[in-house]
Chain A
Amino acid sequence: MGDHDELLPNYLEADQLAAETSRPVPRAALSPRASIGLWALRVFVVVMGAIVIYVFVSQLGH
């Protein structure tokens, strides 16, 4: 890189560089309430997913 290019990264934040953003963030520590909420979300997804796929495929058949 030339002088011009060497200056450019100065306008980026430290945590904005690709090497930094590709570093994983730690896993979230979920509260019991949040864990229960996510399990409820799983049930919602499974039930709704099954319904939507069934209806969608049925409509395609017609």
Chain B
Amino acid sequence: MTPPPVEESVLALPAPRLRHEDEDRAADRTRVHRARRGRRRWLLLWLLIGPGILAMLGENDGPSMISYTTTGATYGIGAFLPFTLLTFAMAIVCQEMSMRIGAVTHRGYGQLVLERFGRVWGWFNAGDLVLTNLVTLVAEFVSIRIGLAYFHLSSWVAAALGVTLVLFTISGGRYWRWERIVLGMAVFNGLFLVAAILSHPNWGKVGHAFVTASPFPGGTLSTLLLLVASTIGATVTPWMIFFQQSASADKGLTPDDLSHGRYDTIAGGVLAAVFGCGAMIAGAALATRGGAGINGLAGAGFPGAFSHVLGGGVATIFALGLIEAGAVAILTISASTGYAAGECIGAPHSMNYSARGAAIFYAANVGAAAIAAAIILIPGAPLLSIALNANVLATVLLPVALVFMIMLASDRQLMGRFANGRRHNWVGGAIVVFVAASGTAYAIDAFLRTVHLI
């Protein structure tokens, strides 16, 4: 290797004490540096994409895809297709901030909140994350179980598959390896688009829905609030904020990479929106074909319903899609749990360590998946209720994570010239208000119904 000229290197200091993660990250940065110096644009893009696409496609998880399909099957595509696009636009704005903070500060969200705003908020955010992650992980295992059940495989296989995938992907002790394996798996989120195409939708109506946001769905206010809250919860969640910031730092992104980080985030958002809309369009086919399988739309019945109405091919693709969606989400959500635990405890938290070097990080990563896997094996556990409420729970607790993210992104002491401008803060503030209002309205409505006041 030719030594880099001192003026080309960002750091020209006496060699500090290096840790293992520094060496691995430096190796990755060497490739980035060479691609940039050689003006190899596509290679540079390939090297720098990852956290954004994974956060977005990871959030196109089992419960989200079931939620989109349920919406399509119950209400048709109508207003929900453009609404889904709006929520993904919101997600892109939020995730760009998350990526930017990670690339500029090289620190994770949990660590920064703890250090900048104190232990109460730091641990609250971590606790919020662990709670919503556990609930969501259970829902991911449920979605894998639903997919596998179509192939007559048991919940034990679902539990073993999820935990084995987590162990396999982290076994290399290398962020790059983990990221590429999960990216390779996430490509199959496109199965939902294939299912949509094979359902032979009326593309004219699809286009009409996008342009006019109509017909507006009927139903009660509480149903509408649930759908709005769960659609938001299917698009922006606390774990995504933790994950993309920590993964961007772990990958070694720097301010020089911000434009590629934005491409990565936008590409992830666009892909996730297309695939999510695919699930909704496929679900709408169930409603418009008058299939008997429309009974039992709470997720478990979907592969069977598709088989009955559209044939075994679409059902198989949908079942495989659910397995993929659950599996990728298990990997990314478990990773976000590991990052949060390591950051808040102050222990090493990088995929570039071996299990011995970052025991707490890996234990939290695997432990979260293992606990969720164990829960789905408990006979009689209310898995459906957990799966259906996971997105809503995430929505209600999301405003807190968003508020701190915007405060960090606006913090000029931390971010310098990369801090949010006034326009960015207005947009971020509007998203927080919208998410908080939706979650609050749903939670209050659900509470009043629970205590039989309405």
Interfacial residues, chain A to chain B (CB-CB below 8 A): 1, 4-22, 24-28, 34, 37-38, 41, 44-45, 48-49, 51-52, 54-56, 58-60, 62
Contacts A7-B1, A16-B25, A55-B443 supplied; 15 other A-B pairs, CB < 8 Å: A7-B30, A8-B30, A11-B4, A11-B10, A16-B106, A19-B17, A19-B19, A34-B407, A48-B397, A48-B440, A51-B446, A52-B396, A56-B389, A59-B382, A60-B385
User: Known: A11-B30, A12-B25, A48-B443. Contact between A21 and B12, CB under 8 A?
Assistant: no
In the complex, A1→B1 CA distance in Å?
15
- Whole-angstrom CA separation of A38 from B406 in the bound complex: 13
Pair B389/A59 contact, Cβ less than 8 Å: yes
CA distance A13 to B19 in the complex (A): 14
A-B contact pairs, 20 of them (CB 8 A): A8-B26, A9-B11, A10-B12, A11-B4, A11-B32, A11-B33, A13-B254, A15-B106, A16-B254, A19-B16, A19-B17, A21-B106, A25-B105, A25-B112, A26-B116, A28-B407, A37-B403, A38-B121, A41-B399, A59-B450
Q: Which of A6, A12, A25, A49 gathers the greatest number of chain B CB atoms within 10 Å?
A: A12
Which residues from A are CB-within-8-Å of B124?
45
Give A13 to B29 CA distance when docked, in angstroms: 10
B115 & A10 in contact (Cβ 8 Å cutoff): no
Residues of A within 8 A of B105 (CB): 25
**Chain B 63-103 residues near chain A, CB threshold 8 A:** none
Residues of B within 8 A of A13 (CB): 10-11, 106, 254
Q: How far is the CB of B400 from chain A (nearest CB, A)?
A: 6
Question: A56 CA to B407 CA in the complex, in Å?
Answer: 30
Q: Which of B261-286 contact A (CB under 8 A)?
A: none
Interface of B is mostly: helix
Interface size for B (C-beta < 8 A) is 61
Pairwise interchain contact A55-B26, C-beta atoms closer than 8 A: no
Q: B11 touching A8 by the CB < 8 A rule?
A: no
Q: Are A21 and B4 in contact (CB under 8 A)?
A: no
Which B residues form the contact surface with A (CB < 8 A)?
1, 3-4, 9-13, 15-19, 21-23, 25-27, 29-30, 32-33, 105-107, 112, 115-118, 121, 124, 249, 252, 254, 346, 348, 350, 382, 385-386, 389, 393, 396-397, 399-400, 403, 407, 411, 413-414, 436, 439-440, 443-444, 446-447, 450
A52 CA to B13 CA in the complex, in Å?
A: 52
Q: What CA separation (Å) do A13 and B107 show in the bound complex?
A: 13
Q: Are B23 and A8 in contact, with the CB atoms below 8 A?
A: yes
Residues of B close to A22: CB separation below 8 A: 346
Q: Which residue of A lies closest to B382 (CB)?
A: A60
A4 touches B11 (CB 8 A): no
Taking a contact as CB atoms under 8 Å apart, the answer to whether A54 and B22 are in contact is no
**CB pair A18 B22 closer than 8 Å:** yes
Q: Residue B399 contacts which of A18, A26, A44, A55 (CB distance < 8 angstroms)? A: A44
Give the Cβ gap from B27 to chain A, nearest Cβ, in Å: 6
Contacts of A55 in B (CB 8 A): 443, 446-447, 450
Residues on B with beta carbons closer than 8 Å to the beta carbon of A59: 382, 385, 389, 450
Complex alpha-carbon distance, A37 and B446, angstroms? 26
Q: Which of B16, B26, B350 contacts A11 (CB 8 A)?
A: B26
Q: What residues on A are CB-neighbors of B400 within 8 Å?
A: 41, 44-45
A9 to B407, alpha carbons, bound, how many Å?
31
Q: With A24-B115, A41-B403 as given contacts, are A52 and B106 in contact (CB-CB < 8 Å)? A: no
Q: How far is the CA of A41 from the CA of B124 in the complex (A)?
A: 12
Asked if B22 contacts A9 (CB within 8 A), the reply is yes
Chain A contacts of B25 at CB under 8 A? 12, 16
Contact A17 B115 (CB under 8 A): no
A24 to chain B: closest CB distance in Å?
5
Q: Which 8 A-B pairs have the closest CB atoms?
A: A8-B26, A10-B9, A11-B29, A18-B19, A28-B116, A24-B115, A55-B446, A13-B10
Contact of B107 among A21, A26, A27, A44 (CB under 8 A): A21
Q: Which residues of A contact B249 (CB under 8 A)?
A: 21
Chain B residues contacting A7 (CB-CB under 8 Å) are: 1, 3-4, 30
